[in-house]
Amino acid sequence: MKRVSVTQLREYELCPKRQQVPYAQRAKTLEQIVGTLCHEAIHLRLKGRYSAEESIRHIVDKWPTRHTDDSDEYFRATLWKMERLLTSDRLEHGRYVTSESTFVLQRWLESGEPYLLSGRIDALQHSPNQLTDWKCGASQFIPHETELRSSIATIAYSKFALLRLRTYHIRVTFEWPLNIREANAVSFTMEDEDIEQGLLGIDALATRYFYDVLRAPRENRFCNSCIVNTTCPVWVEKRGQAS
């Protein structure tokens, strides 16, 4: 049976050509490396493997020393922001029904052929029914609620949450812990009917993903750092127009 992950579909929607480049081959910025590190610390705390202090120490010990040209200010700011989250009772082990949980949903392509959609959520809790996702990536830009509601991740994660909690609606919270703003989270409720409608859109995207032979490039915000931009017709044309 065909299988695709939420991440693969998001990458494909962004740029079909970029999606073909293995993640390990992509150049990673300091912010991306640190984002991954902070996410690891959150999950170690959620799983009860590390205390708050040990989770913070994990960030300190694993900090990418090869980026020596970066100031200590970024390091101190990151630790300060993560300490606020890691030492809060929100990450106490046992608070959530499940954390860092992988899931697989069976869906159907537009042709009627079944396929598997996989993903991984950060945390899910009862009373109230809530799904929480921490965004520690390079971009700490906070999208509008409308954009978040219609995203592939929100729809797929919410469907898993409904099945796991056996409910018809779920409160979804996205949080950007490295963003310095006080209001660094967006919360909204997803209803079963809206989720099912969104899944049909994912099925249509998955159909294109599996049967797209050309993988034509699409201009996006990562073009400047893309590993294939020297041969990408979209980027070459854009650079030509700029010059």
pLDDT in tens, 187-214: 999 999 999 999 999 999 999 999 998 8
Report the pLDDT value the prediction gives residue 218, as an integer from 0 to 100: 85
In the structure, what pLDDT confidence band is assigned to residue 141 with cuts at 50, 70 and 90?
confident
Q: Torsion angle, CA of 109/112/113/115, rounded to 10 degrees?
A: 40
Averaged confidence pLDDT in the chain: 88
Residues with Cβ within 8 Å of 229's Cβ and at least 6 positions away in sequence, in order, are 223, 235, 236
Report the pLDDT value the prediction gives residue 24, as an integer from 0 to 100: 61
| Range of weakest confidence among 5-9, 23-27, 97-101, 126-130 | 23-27
* 2-9+28-212 CATH pick, 3.40.50, 3.90.320, 2.60.40, 3.30.1300: 3.90.320
Is the pLDDT at 77 greater than 90, yes or no?
no
Report the pLDDT value the prediction gives residue 23, as an integer from 0 to 100: 67
In the structure, what pLDDT confidence band is assigned to residue 122 with cuts at 50, 70 and 90?
very high
Domain ranges of the chain: 2-9+28-212, 218-243
pLDDT in tens, 98-121: 888 899 999 999 999 999 999 999
Placement of tokens 């409160």 in the chain:
171
Report the pLDDT value the prediction gives residue 234, as an integer from 0 to 100: 75
